[in-house]
Amino acid sequence: MVRYQVFKDWMLEPVLAAMIRCRITADFITGVSTVAGLAFCPLYFWSPALAYALLAIHLLLDGLDGPLARHSGSASRSGSFTDTVGDQLVVISTTVTWMYAQAIGQPGVDIVSGSVYLSLYTVVVVFAVVRNAMGIPYSWLLRPRNFVYGWFLLESFVFIDTQFAGSVVYLIWFFNLILAAKFVTGFFNIRAKL
């Protein structure tokens, strides 16, 4: 994960330098990212295209706050925690939005698979925060939310009235299995250090 961060920081260096010159802080980017992600929820029912554009802005900005903090020398545990909480709020709110959408007949996800996804995702994130605080290395780079967001975008605009309509449920169950494995390994890694 550290090698990926170094590579990402190197690739974004010109953008990060410009942001620092403009006095844009990582905390500001985290805040705007979170607001954009949360705005997805009400807009999904009014203008799905605008909602997904804001979700894309959330993801783009979420990829900038950490590198900006490191580049500006302002990286901190509190900033990382704020970023994690903001990301988790967006995961929860978007998933709940899709569960509600499915309940009213729009592209979405059923309550069972969505609830399992939310529960496991939240516990895995909590375990990651605990592991970080305890100094236990965390090597997982895969972020299920990015795949789920992308698949829902396809469900909303491409897979309508095709054999792939509703296939996001299979993707969520796939990630539920991966998250369950991360839950188990995370639990035992933390327990072994206590």
- Given a cut of 70, whether residue 140 has pLDDT beyond it is no
What distance in Å separates the CA atoms of residue 104 and residue 41, rounded to the nearest whole number?
15
Q: What is the pLDDT of residues 58-89, one digit of tens each?
A: 999 998 998 999 889 998 989 989 999 999 99
Confidence of residue 117 (pLDDT cuts 50, 70, 90): very high
What distance in Å separates the CA atoms of residue 84 and residue 125, rounded to the nearest whole number?
8
Q: Residue 186 to residues 15, 71, 166, 176, 189: CA-CA distances in angstroms?
A: 35, 30, 31, 15, 5
Q: Residues 2-22: what's their mean pLDDT?
A: 85
What distance in Å separates the CA atoms of residue 1 and residue 5, rounded to the nearest whole number?
6
Model-level pTM? 0.89
Q: Residues 136-161: what's their mean pLDDT?
A: 84
Angle, helices 26-44 vs 77-103, to 10°: value is 10
* Architecture in CATH for domain 2-193: Up-down Bundle (1.20)
